[in-house]
Amino acid sequence: MATAIIDLQHLAKIFGKQTVLKDINLTVNAGEIVGLIGPSGAGKSTVIKVTLGMEVASGGSAKVFDTQMPNRQLLSRIGYMAQTDALYDSLSGYENLKFYGQMKGISKDDLPQAIQHVAEVVDLTKDLKKRVAGYSGGMMRRLSLAIALLGDPDLLILDEPTVGIDPALRRQIWAELGRIRDAGRSILITTHVMDEAELVDRVALLLDGKVMAFDEPVVLKHDYGVDSIEDVFLKAEGVD
Amino acid sequence: MRTIAIMNRVLKELFRDKRTLALMFIAPILIMLLMSVIFNTNSTTDVSIGTVGVTKSLNKELDGIKHVSVKKYTTKAKAKKALKDDKVDAIIKKNGNNYHLTYANTDSTKTATVKLAFKNAVTTTSINKLKSALKQSTKATMKLQAQLQALQKQAAASQTTAKTTSTKATANNMATKSTSQKTPKITNSYVYGDKDTGYFAKMLPILMGFFVFFFVFLISGMALLKERTTGTLDRLLATPVKRSSIVFGYMLSYGILAIIQTIEIVMVTVWLLGIEVVGSLVSVVIINLLLALVALAFGILLSTFANSEFQMMQFIPIVIVPQIFFSGLIPLDSMANWIKGISYIIPLKYSGDAVNSIIMRGTSIMDLGFNIGMLLIFLVVLTILNIVGLRRYRKV
């Protein structure tokens, strides 16, 4: 079996009286894209938060790179993109990238090259000098993704990365994610777009704080006897 | 290094927000200019003084002074009624040799004008008196000398010595009498407030601190609130940055801003408003910088309890306004003890006290250990709270 980059075992998370995660078992191996799907409120963001160490698990274990989270040093090896764009509006695209690059601890000499590379990936090279306040929604999303890609992290955690991005660019981004996977790096991605769920190596279906199913899309479709992940999703939810 | 990067970013953001900058740098100047114009208009204030039982010469002197008019009253009760009805601004009553002055004191500049006018009038009349007394005494001495000569001429008799001593004694008596007339006792009383009420000079050091505190508190609180609501704080915390680096980065950037703001305000007050600063300007800047850092830490801390910019504004009446009351703008001596107790937890009080004594008495910063120490305690405690408080957003 391949080495697990993310290893969540019997993970539980309770906020006050509300139990958000009950029993999460999820692994992401090296060189693998794992998709996390589930209705809103199912706890996708909480899984991500615990994996990043922003929240501490109430039960079970959350290991990343074989180290128990939370761990601050480890964060330099993780690229994170949140649901919100989380950009500084009054700064230019370049300044945003530079600032987050510095925060990630990328050395001064490598930074310009790293910025240029990620800007090319998301097709923002010619807009880097503009202030973010003048960006369109799609451009902001792309810049946000570029920030996550900065510094070639071994693990990417992407929360709804392709919302508001047009189809051509979406295809381009998935191609890049494919290249990252082929380079032996890992990606955990949440999505609402069901045809995207077909593109991942393994998909985890999150419902009521539990992983209902976790396997390759082909196997899931076969198990549930349906033609698409969307139908798997609906069937698991109990909607006919 | 990350701290410096955060500082650079915050400064960049700040300097691109032209409106906020204008608020920080132009608003205090505008308000202070207005205040100085409003509070320092005594050159054209007309005052009227009611007098009771005051000598004719003093009345004449008073009436002769520009912008001062005198109304004579026969009894104190009548004068008091006039004071109450706003017909006169002050009453001067003579009790034997002493004067008692009562000021309406609703307008501090009028009170000052009356004080000055009365002092001048008393000096002039007493000089006049002195002159006439001098004349009289010279006359008297001449008379005495003449008498003496006459006595000597009459000669011989042995009782003479006794007589001269008695005349000398009367002369001495006269002299003591005139000295007691020269320095009448003056007592002051105020219908409203006291002698410290509303001087711009006294308000200034506190105002300076207040502007620094207010703007740094509000803008830094808003800035961190924005980081939180736009998600940049989460994203920042998803990098290996230390929580303390974030807090220190903010402190550095807002510290720089506060230094610039303080220097600007001090320059304007010294060069434009002509306020005299007895002590060192550097000390004033240092104290205000400390206050700014306390305000910053306070703003960041309270921003965690606000969910929107509007909720941040709601802290103004709760946090900012009480600061004004306890800052020393209003004398604390007259307050009840339990209210005085509150003033010990007001940072603006300590900076106000310190800057006041630097500006007005020229106290060295070395002698302000208590005030500086208290500000430092505020700063350290609030900073630690902030660093620990960021744990809410990331557990390491």
State which residues of chain A have pLDDT below 70.
Answer: 1-2, 239-240
Task: For B319-333, write each residue's pLDDT tens digit.
Answer: 888 888 877 777 666
Helix A93-104 to helix B2-16 angle (10° resolution) is 160
Q: Is B324 helix (H, G, I), strand (E, B) or coil?
A: helix
Task: Say whether pLDDT at B386 is over 60.
Answer: yes
* Pairwise CB contact (< 8 Å): B395 & A73: no
**Chain A partners of B249 at a C-beta cutoff of 8 Å?**
none
Q: Tens of pLDDT along B8-41?
A: 999 999 889 888 888 888 888 888 888 777 766 5
For residue B191, give the nearest of B68, B93, B89 by alpha carbon: B89
Domain boundaries, chain A: 31-56+72-237
Shortest Cα–Cα distance, B386 to chain A (Å):
17
Residue B199: per-residue pLDDT: 59
Q: Considering only the beta carbons, identify the residue of A52, A76, A103 that sits closest to B236.
A: A103
Q: Which of A53, A83, A84 sits opposite B394 (nearest CB)?
A: A53
Distance from CA of B383 to the nearest CA of A (A): 21
Packing angle of the helix pair A137-149, A93-104 (nearest 10 deg): 30
pLDDT at B133: 86
What distance in Å separates the CA atoms of residue B356 and residue B288, rounded to the nearest whole number?
A: 12
Of B9, B231, B396, Cβ closest to residue A84: B231
- In this predicted structure, what is the pLDDT of residue B162? 52
Q: Is the pLDDT of residue B59 over 50?
A: yes
Q: What is the DSSP letter of A132?
A: G
This model of the complex carries an ipTM of 0.87
pLDDT reported for residue B179: 47
Closest residue of A to B9, CA-based? A99
| pLDDT attached to residue B172 | 52
Place of tokens 């003093």: B58
> How is residue B306 written in tokens?
């606000």
Query: Crossing angle for the helix pair B56-64 and B108-154, nearest 10 degrees?
Result: 140
Which parts of chain A fold into alpha helices (H)? 44-52, 93-104, 111-121, 137-149, 167-182, 194-197, 217-224, 229-237
| A and B: number of Cβ contacts within 8 A | 79
Parallel/antiparallel/unpaired status of strands A4-15 and A18-29: antiparallel
Under an 8 A CB cutoff, do A91 and B13 touch? Answer: yes
Residue-level pLDDT at B192: 62
Please name the residue of chain A whose CA is at the shortest distance from the CA of residue B395. A54
Look at residue B196 and tell me whether its pLDDT is greater than 60: no
- Across residues B297-311, what is the average pLDDT? 89
Among residues B174, B306, B17, the alpha carbon closest in space to that of A89 is found at B17
- Across the interface, whether the CB atoms of B395 and A90 are under 8 A apart is answered no
Q: Please state the φ and ψ torsions of residue B343, each to the nearest 5 degrees.
A: -60, -20
pLDDT score of B44: 58
Please tell me the distance in Å from B326's CA to the nearest CA on chain A.
Answer: 38
Which residue pairs, CB below 8 angstroms and at least 24 apart, start in B212-215?
B212/B258, B212/B261, B212/B262, B212/B265, B212/B288, B212/B291, B212/B292, B212/B295, B213/B291, B213/B292, B213/B294, B213/B295, B213/B320, B213/B323, B213/B347, B213/B348, B213/B351, B214/B295, B214/B320, B215/B23, B215/B24, B215/B27, B215/B28, B215/B261
Say what the pLDDT of residue B246 is. 92
- For CA atoms B370, B371, B372, B374, the dihedral sign is positive
Q: How far apart are CA A34 and CA A220, in angstroms?
A: 14
pLDDT range class, residue B294, cuts 50, 70, 90: very high
Residue pLDDT, tens place only, B239-252: 999 999 999 999 99
Phi, psi values for residue B267, rounded to 5°: -55, -50
The pLDDT of residue B180 is 46
For residue A80, which residues of chain B lie inside 8 Å, CB to CB? 235, 238
User: B167: number of CA atoms within 13 Å, CB side?
Assistant: 13
Q: Do B394 and A102 touch (CB under 8 A)?
A: no
- A87: closest chain B residue by CA: B232
State chain A's mean pLDDT as an integer. 87
H helical segments located in A8-136: 44-52, 93-104, 111-121
Task: Tell me the pLDDT band of B197, cut-offs 50, 70 and 90.
Answer: very low
How far apart are the CA of A136 and the nearest CA of chain B, in angstroms?
16
Determine contact, residues A183/A15, Cβ cutoff 8 Å: no
**Cα dihedral sign, A131-A136-A141-A146:** negative
What mean pLDDT, rounded, does chain B reach?
Answer: 81
CATH number of B42-190: 3.40.190
- Check residue B382 and give its pLDDT: 94
Percentage with pLDDT > 70 across chain B: 86
Closest to B300 in 3D by CA, of B240, B351, B344, B248: B248
Residue B177 pLDDT class (50, 70, 90 cuts): very low
- Of the ranges A179-188, B133-142, B194-203, B335-344, which one carries the lowest mean pLDDT score? B194-203
Tell me the average pLDDT across B305-326: 86
- Tell me, what's the pLDDT at A173? 84
- Asked if residue B45 has pLDDT above 80, the reply is no
Question: What is the residue extent of each domain of chain B?
Answer: 2-38+199-392, 42-190
Cβ burial of A234 (10 Å; 0-12, 13-18, 19+) is middle
CATH node for A31-56+72-237: 3.40.50.300
Give Cβ neighbours of residue B237 (< 8 Å, ≥ 6 apart): A54, B243, B390, B393, B394
CA nearest to A90 within chain B:
B13
Q: For the whole model, what pTM was predicted?
A: 0.72
| Residues B121, B126, B132, B135, Cα dihedral to 10° | -140
**How many angstroms separate the CA atoms of A224 and A28, rounded?**
23
pLDDT bracket for residue B129 (50, 70, 90) = confident
